[in-house]
Amino acid sequence: MTNQSVIFFDIDGTLLNHDKKLPPTTKEAVFKLKAQGHIVAIATGRAPFMFEDLRKELEIDTFVSYNGQYVVLNGEVIFTNPLNMGSLEKLTETAVHQDHPVVFMDHEDMKANVPEHAHITESIASLKIKQFPTHDPDYYKGRELYQSLLFCTEGEEIQYKQDFEDFDFVRWHPLSVDILPKGGSKAIGIEKIAQELGIPEEHRYAFGDGLNDIEMLSTVQNSVAMGNAREEVKKVARYTTNSVENDGIKKGLLTVGLL
């Protein structure tokens, strides 16, 4: 297909609405894109095991997960970018003294360094996923981790940002921030896939709504912010569509001329 494009969709607030449901018009639009010969991919901060059901429902096997740290093309891993383990161990020691739990995450599972904590319960529950982190304070040892979660209230992450330069911290919930390798982003993962596919920049599209979508939407040539996105996200996108609840994906794809 001469004009084949690749379209990357964020999950939460983009493909899925506030209730973590997939709007019927969104599912219909995705399959129309595929029927036209385009490549549909996911770009999310979630772990691969957190959106298996969605991948099956939409028949998608190409994705950027962990905000760009674990990238899969046609079911095969093509790029990984693990966290610095020495720095993560030091951060965890600091967090323990501050009563800030940490969850360690690889491509298969997630484990908390504490048996239980209200901040973990509340924030993970908001994702409405089947998985919940169990307790294993040594899970980081001897394995590659692609993201971790630090549980603290807004503003409390500032000291971590100053003390741990190997990491980027991106808030995804009032009680939690993602810990990422410095400079890691969805944009890097998207570039890896697009290059592997040989898709030129003018045929790359991305839809998102969150703070972790800013690099993606400011880098991908045809970027679309959801109507429910924060203002700083809308500012970097080329287009803005309706909210996810109001057929935002379908409207956005019509706007950019893909439907």
Please state, in angstroms and rounded to a whole number, the distance separating the CA atoms of residues 223 and 216. 8
Whether the CB-CB separation of 179 and 150 falls below 8 Å is answered with: yes
Question: Residue 141 corresponds to which tokens in the numbers above?
Answer: 């040892």
CA dihedral angle for residue 109, residue 182, residue 171, residue 71, rounded to 10 degrees: -40
| DSSP character at residue 45 | S
Would residue 10 show up in a list of annotated catalytic residues for this protein?
yes
Residue type, 133: P
Angle between helices 24-35 and 248-255 (to 10 degrees): 40
Please state, in angstroms and rounded to a whole number, the distance separating the CA atoms of residues 112 and 107. 15
Please pick, among 10, 106, 168, 213, the residue that the annotation labels catalytic.
Answer: 10
- Beta-carbon contacts of 17 under 8 Å, excluding residues fewer than 6 positions away, are 23, 244, 245
Residues recognised as catalytic: 10
